């Protein structure tokens, strides 16, 4: 039987036997109706825009993140101004130090690159919320997120080269206080060390910064989606991986445990990272801790995939980006850290 025969004998199109009372399409008829019933709305105020700051002058584009640059302090201020103009009200800073060493001394140096950038941005744009990433990996010569089990810190019951938890906590607290002294508005520990929020809270309170919020990278997975970031921030581990501290992508119950510990230790905001392959985790953590604002990190690899496809003409960059960001917010994120932030804010206008 041909389709035509089927159609004339018993057409489902012309046979109105079934009364259809419920027609969800009624509310999709016009743009105004669709806007009226829209459940999730992106806003430029939802975004935090990452900036990579380095010594020297000018800016250089990163290899695997088109449109993302390593910036001098002056250029970082310029980029923050552009963000403010687009409606984005927060930046997060990552530093590339002049020199690296086993502990990462520039991380808490008074004239460190992030310290300079915080002061410069707060001076020129006082209303900009300056968040700082607090971790060791960009500053250590081995590229790991903590102090390694070697030399003076050697701990015989642990494997050589293992990232030591407790000695790292003191450094993290020092870094956070140093950022606070320069005028940072929020510190964001990203190293997945046990007790990092408690240690930083203690350090900040002891230095008189009891009002400075901590946004903890509570649920951070050992993800291949960080690849392009490690180029941009020059923070790839020189050997091994980060699996002894970052989470296994297969786990979600463990995410609740990590988040609960951070809440107990005094975190003011939680974070899930990456975002796109972990939308279910965002939802679960949000439902478990609805009282805390939650951030999600739309990471470098997620950005790079959209950029690459868009440059090939395979997807519509603006539409795919806004759809992606909407999905992250719909999953439960209140705040989204994204390299798309400024573009997205402009597209939303
Ligand atoms: C660690 C840190 C990383 C990212 C943010 N903070 C890298 C890592 O854990 O290896 C990744 C962010 C991204 O991929 O965009 N300081």
Task: Kindly give the confidence (pLDDT) of every residue in the chain, 349 residues in length, as a single tens digit, with 9 standing for 90 and above.
Answer: 555 555 555 555 555 677 899 999 999 999 999 999 999 999 999 999 999 999 999 999 999 999 999 999 999 999 999 999 999 999 999 999 999 999 999 999 999 999 999 999 999 999 999 999 999 999 999 999 999 999 888 888 999 999 999 999 999 999 999 999 999 999 999 999 999 999 999 999 999 999 999 999 999 999 999 999 998 888 889 999 999 999 999 999 999 999 999 999 999 999 999 999 999 999 999 999 999 999 999 999 999 999 999 999 999 999 999 999 999 999 999 999 999 999 999 999 9
Token pair, residue 48, equals: 């935090």
CB within 8 Å of 19: residues ≥ 6 apart:
none
Q: What is the pLDDT of residue 270?
A: 98
User: Taking phi first (over 0 means left), then psi (-120 to 50 degrees means alpha), and beta for anything else, what does residue 58 get?
Assistant: left
- CATH number assigned to the domain covering 45-348: 3.20.20.70
Domain boundary assignment for the chain: 45-348
Nearest to 216 by CA among 252, 279, 184, 260: 260
* CB of 272 closer than 8 Å to CB of 255: yes
Burial of residue 274, with CB atoms counted within 10 A of its CB: 0-12 exposed, 13-18 middle, 19 or more buried: buried
* CB of 295 closer than 8 Å to CB of 337: yes
Q: Is 66 helix (H, G, I), strand (E, B) or coil?
A: coil
Q: Where are the alpha helices (DSSP H) in the chain?
A: 3-9, 31-36, 73-86, 113-124, 165-182, 196-206, 227-232, 253-265, 279-288, 300-311, 317-330, 341-348
Among 140, 233, 301, name the best residue to mutate to test ligand 1's pocket (greatest count of ligand atoms within 8 A of Cβ). 233
- What does the alpha-carbon distance between residue 21 and residue 109 come to, in Å, rounded to a whole number? 68
- What does the alpha-carbon distance between residue 131 and residue 36 come to, in Å, rounded to a whole number? 34
Question: Measured in angstroms, how far is the CA atom of residue 188 from the centroid of ligand 1?
Answer: 11
Q: Which residue has the tokens 């975002």?
A: 275
Q: What is the pLDDT of residue 235?
A: 85
Using the atom order of ligand 1, give the atom closest to the CA of residue 303: 15
Q: How many residues does this entry show for the chain? A: 349
Using the atom order of ligand 1, give the atom closest to the CA of residue 225: 14
Question: Measured in angstroms, how far is the CA atom of residue 228 from the centroid of ligand 1?
Answer: 9
Beta bridge partners of 294: 270
Omega into 274 within 30° of 0, i.e. cis?
A: yes
Active site residue 329: no
CA distances from 88 to 101, 271, 296, 321, 347 (A): 35, 19, 16, 16, 12
CB within 8 Å of 15: residues ≥ 6 apart:
none
Catalytic: which of 100, 122, 174, 220? Answer: 220
| DSSP code at position 134 | E
Q: What is the pLDDT of residue 154?
A: 87
Token pair, residue 98, equals: 């002049």
CA distances from 177 to 51, 63, 216, 343 (A): 20, 32, 15, 32
Active site residue 273: yes
- What does the alpha-carbon distance between residue 243 and residue 222 come to, in Å, rounded to a whole number? 6
Q: What is the pLDDT of residue 151?
A: 82
Q: Is 163 in the pocket of ligand 1 (CB under 6 A)?
A: no
Please indicate, yes or no, whether the overall pTM of this predicted structure exceeds 0.85: yes
- What does the alpha-carbon distance between residue 2 and residue 33 come to, in Å, rounded to a whole number? 40
């Amino acid at each position: 039987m041909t389709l035509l025969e089927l159609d004339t004998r018993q057409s489902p199109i012309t046979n109105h036997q079934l009364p259809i009372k419920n027609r969800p399409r009624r509310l999709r008829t016009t743009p105004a109706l669709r806007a009226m019933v829209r459940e999730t709305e992106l806003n430029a105020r939802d975004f935090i825009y990452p900036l990579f700051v380095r010594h020297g002058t000018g800016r250089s584009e990163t290899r695997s993140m088109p449109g993302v640059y390593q910036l001098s302090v002056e250029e970082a201020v310029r980029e923050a101004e552009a963000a403010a103009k687009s409606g984005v009200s927060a930046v997060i800073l990552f530093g590339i130090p002049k020199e690296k060493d086993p502990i990462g001394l520039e991380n808490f140096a008074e004239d460190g690159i992030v310290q300079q950038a915080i002061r410069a941005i707060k001076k020129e744009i006082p209303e900009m919320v300056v968040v700082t990433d607090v971790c060791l990996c960009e500053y250590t010569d081995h590229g790991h997120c903590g102090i390694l089990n070697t030399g003076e810190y050697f701990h015989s019951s642990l494997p050589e080269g293992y990232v030591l938890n407790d000695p790292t906590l003191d450094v993290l607290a020092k870094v956070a206080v140093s950022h606070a002294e320069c005028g940072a508005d929020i510190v964001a520990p990203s190293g997945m060390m046990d007790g990092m929020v408690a240690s930083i809270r203690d350090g900040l309170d002891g230095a008189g910064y009891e009002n400075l919020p901590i946004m903890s990278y509570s649920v951070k997975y050992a993800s291949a989606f960080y690849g392009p970031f490690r180029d941009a921030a020059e923070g790839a581990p020189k050997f091994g991986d980060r699996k002894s501290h970052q989470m296994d992508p297969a786990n979600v119950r463990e995410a609740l445990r990590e988040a609960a510990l951070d809440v107990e230790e005094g975190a003011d905001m939680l974070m899930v990272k990456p975002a796109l392959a972990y939308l279910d985790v965002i939802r679960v953590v949000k439902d478990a801790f609805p009282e805390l604002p939650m951030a999600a990190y739309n990471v470098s690899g997620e950005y790079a995939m959209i950029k690459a496809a868009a440059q090939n003409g395979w997807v519509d960059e603006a539409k795919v980006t806004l759809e992606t960001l909407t999905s992250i917010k719909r999953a439960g994120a209140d705040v989204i850290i994204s390299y798309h932030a400024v573009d997205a804010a402009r597209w939303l206008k």
